[in-house]
Chains A and B, each alone.
Chain A
Amino acid sequence: MRITIKLYATLTDYLPGHAVGNKVDVDLPEGCTVEGALAPFGLPPKLTHLVLVDGTFIAPEDRNVRPLKDGEVLAVWPPIAGG
């Protein structure tokens, strides 16, 4: 299956060189979890704060059990805020 991974703010530094903008498409085995999909990027756990799949928040305790589906978009931010 193919999913899109988006890394924002300071996590942009962890994208591979061939990423376009803030995103990269990756091929993953069926049943791969959120945590499994992010593992190759080496994101510091403290900075893996806001994790969204198709815009919906995935709680830390669900990230190693939530399987991804083909076509989903996984987006991650460090702790951020604005106003």
Chain B
Amino acid sequence: MSWNRKILRVNLTAGTCTPEPLNMEWANDYLGSRGLGTKYLTEEIDPKVDPLSPENKMIMATGPLTGTMASTGGRYTVITKGPLTGAIACSNSGGFFGAEMKFAGWDMIIFEGKSPKPVYLYVENEKAELRDAAHLWGTTCWHTEETIKAELQDPLVRVSSIGRSGENQVLFSCIVNDLHRAAGRSGVGAVMGSKNLKAVALRGTQGVSGVKDFPAFLKAANAAKQVLKDNAVTGQGLPKYGTQVLMNVINEVGALPTRNHRDVQFEEAGKISAEAMHEKRPTDGKAHLITNAACFGCTIACGRISQLDKGHFTVQNKPEYWGASGGLEYESAWSLGASNGVGDLEALQYANMLCNEDGFDPITFGATVSAVMELYELGILTKEQIGIEAPFGSAKALAYLAEITAQGIGFGKEVGLGSKRLTAKYGRPDLSMSVKGLEFPAYDGRGIQGIGLNYATSNRGACHVRGYTVASEVLGIPVKTDPLATEGKPGLVKAFQDATTIFDSAGVCLFTSFAWSVADVQPQVQAACEGDWSMEKMAIVGERIWNMERQFNLAAGFTAKDDNLPPRLTTEPAKTGPAKGRVNELGKMLPEYYEVRGWTPEGVPTAETLARLGL
């Protein structure tokens, strides 16, 4: 099996690093990464634990295909109880860090307790030790990565770290690896900060051992790569335009949340789109986009590398932001842009760079700024409270709030709470565009009905990459369905949710699913791993993982009442576009969703369902 069969357990309270064998029985039942890491977490913590207490644990986990020759096999997952939501937090990242963990001989690192002082973990193959991080505390992710590489005199060390955001326990802090890849959502960086763990630095030189049938694996991996190459989306569209190509599409179908979901179309969408990133700026004659970029082993290369206009107001006299850097991706361009009514591409990239530099989630940050701007326009928040005039459309307000959030300066401390807590504090919880405390991504559930159901039922709160039905409802992948229809959506949502767990748990990128189905992942897993990894088993494992996450949330105190959408989505009709006059009809879809899941009308898995799934 392509496992190292070895876990590193790091007790931060005691300062110990202890190897232990991977539980292969669990690996056989939960595959890896998201599934296997969640199994460990649910076995080891009380679901009611305070997420920022030493009793919470944080797991960095790879999958069986991580580090192998499978395309996109560089993914790793951070699993913990999330401080923003109180639900299971499971956040996936690309780059090179995940593969390096495998090369160092480890499948997973479990962090427990809390260090009495700032430390970072250094792993060089079998050697693992905690090192003092006093000199890194109070610095950014970028500074931390650069400093660790310099002091180890090894540029090939791979680093995941928190910035000042995570140190200050901003509730939507990320863990950033390879400068601009992140375990981005649910606030996993705040958990890391609460443990006084600044960074994890890995160096591995051992490759991946134990692929069960290497000739068969090579054949399966190559066949799957050919599928990606031949597919117009993964072979051409994503490398050239990246995820940002969606900006104009989603605007056209009337599902681009604008101005805190007051509107569903943004009149300046074209100015912040993928097409705009290719155009030369009138100010300096250069295009915003420099090149595309790939994570470890990826044959798609969807990443964006951009460069700001040095004369833009956000970076004048700030040469540290003049270099090429990651972004903009669709989600951040939307959350920082359309969601706030800001059509200034340079300002969005500046705010995005600050998110990468100091490690905070641009989706939740942008959506929280949207709530702030609405509260400002309603007269509930004032210029004096915020520190700047903050109407919708203000690029200056966006840049200012991005500068003060990670360090909790002034009003930045309130932004760092996320929209749910902030709007509640000012008496308007209805203005938080979130589910279970996690803010919506870039698709409006009124114009795309199925994604609304997915948001309501996603185990980590409103999240598109838990069941990306947009692929079918808008993009026609694998088959086109009507985005405004509710019929058939419960089954569609369940199918996407369960299949996604397989991609995540195998250790490959979800974006392969625009060309691959589980049937393309299965031969690679079957060749890499011992035992039965038939399609039938894959289907059971996917559903098992989803239900395990649900069980954790129920034990943490969530109920069916939390499978809900903000009133704006269910009572305020869309004003324009194909969905004009429509709200999300969650009430029609949710009972059927529970039924197809084998859950009671109260959203609880039945005894029969649990038995069928071996839970």
Q: A: which residues have CB within 8 A of B?
A: 6, 8-10, 12, 21-22, 46-47, 49-50, 52, 54-57, 59, 73, 75, 77-83
Q: If A8-B248, A8-B275, A12-B275 touch, does A79 touch B237 (CB 8 Å cutoff)?
A: yes
A3 smallest CB distance to B (angstroms): 14
Q: How many A-B residue pairs have CB under 8 A?
A: 96
Q: B: which residues have CB within 8 A of A?
A: 231-233, 236-238, 240-246, 248-249, 252-254, 270, 274-275, 329-331, 464-465, 468, 471, 474-477, 480, 482, 510-511, 514, 577-578
Q: If A9-B240, A9-B275, A49-B232 touch, does A83 touch B248 (CB 8 Å cutoff)?
A: no
B143 smallest CB distance to A (angstroms): 29
Q: If A49-B476, A83-B511 touch, does A78 touch B232 (CB 8 Å cutoff)?
A: yes
Q: A21-B275, A49-B476 are in contact. List 20 more A-B contacts (CB 8 A).
A: A6-B248, A6-B252, A8-B245, A9-B274, A21-B270, A22-B275, A55-B578, A56-B253, A56-B578, A57-B482, A79-B237, A80-B233, A81-B245, A81-B471, A81-B475, A81-B477, A82-B238, A82-B243, A82-B245, A83-B465
Q: If A22-B275, A50-B249, A56-B578 touch, does A80 touch B510 (CB 8 Å cutoff)?
A: no
Contact across chains for B274 and A55 when beta carbons are under 8 A apart:
no
Contact across chains for B270 and A79 when beta carbons are under 8 A apart:
no
**Bound complex: CA A22 to CA B275 (Å):** 8
Contact across chains for B249 and A46 when beta carbons are under 8 A apart:
no
- Return the contact of A47 from the options B232, B245, B510 (Cβ within 8 A): B232
Contacts of A73 in B (CB 8 A): 252
Return the chain A residue nearest B270 by Cβ: A21
Return the chain B residue nearest A82 by Cβ: B243
- Return the contact of A75 from the options B252, B274, B475 (Cβ within 8 A): B252
**Bound complex: CA A10 to CA B477 (Å):** 19
Query: Can you report 7 A-B residue pairs in the complex whose CB atoms are below 8 A from each other?
Result: A9-B237, A9-B240, A9-B245, A75-B248, A80-B238, A82-B244, A83-B468
A82 smallest CB distance to B (angstroms): 3
Contact across chains for B237 and A81 when beta carbons are under 8 A apart:
yes
**Bound complex: CA A55 to CA B482 (Å):** 12
Return the chain A residue nearest B240 by Cβ: A10
B192 smallest CB distance to A (angstroms): 24
Contacts of A79 in B (CB 8 A): 231-233, 237, 475-477
**Bound complex: CA A78 to CA B239 (Å):** 14
B152 smallest CB distance to A (angstroms): 34
Q: If A12-B275, A55-B577 touch, does A50 touch B236 (CB 8 Å cutoff)?
A: no
Return the chain B residue nearest A23 by Cβ: B270
A66 smallest CB distance to B (angstroms): 15
Q: If A55-B252, A55-B253, A56-B578 touch, does A83 touch B331 (CB 8 Å cutoff)?
A: yes
**Bound complex: CA A21 to CA B330 (Å):** 19
**Bound complex: CA A79 to CA B482 (Å):** 17
Contacts of A80 in B (CB 8 A): 233, 237-238, 241, 245-246, 249, 475
A42 smallest CB distance to B (angstroms): 18
A61 smallest CB distance to B (angstroms): 12
**Bound complex: CA A22 to CA B249 (Å):** 12
> Which one of A6, A21, A46 has the greatest number of beta carbons of chain B within 10 Å?
A21
Contact across chains for A82 and B242 when beta carbons are under 8 A apart:
yes
> Which one of A10, A12, A55 has the greatest number of beta carbons of chain B within 10 Å?
A55
**Bound complex: CA A21 to CA B233 (Å):** 23
A51 smallest CB distance to B (angstroms): 10
**Bound complex: CA A56 to CA B249 (Å):** 11
Contacts of A8 in B (CB 8 A): 245, 248-249, 275
- Return the contact of B232 from the options A21, A46, A52, A54 (Cβ within 8 A): A46
> Which one of B249, B464, B510 has the greatest number of beta carbons of chain A within 10 Å?
B249
Contacts of B254 in A (CB 8 A): 55
A23 smallest CB distance to B (angstroms): 9
A25 smallest CB distance to B (angstroms): 16
**Bound complex: CA A9 to CA B276 (Å):** 10
Contact across chains for B476 and A50 when beta carbons are under 8 A apart:
yes
Contact across chains for B578 and A54 when beta carbons are under 8 A apart:
yes
Contacts of B275 in A (CB 8 A): 8-9, 12, 21-22
A24 smallest CB distance to B (angstroms): 14
Contacts of A59 in B (CB 8 A): 480
Return the chain B residue nearest A12 by Cβ: B275
Contacts of B240 in A (CB 8 A): 9-10
Task: List 8 tightest A-B contacts by C-beta distance, closest first.
Answer: A82-B243, A79-B232, A82-B246, A55-B578, A81-B514, A80-B237, A82-B330, A81-B233
**Bound complex: CA A55 to CA B248 (Å):** 10
**Bound complex: CA A75 to CA B252 (Å):** 8
A63 smallest CB distance to B (angstroms): 13
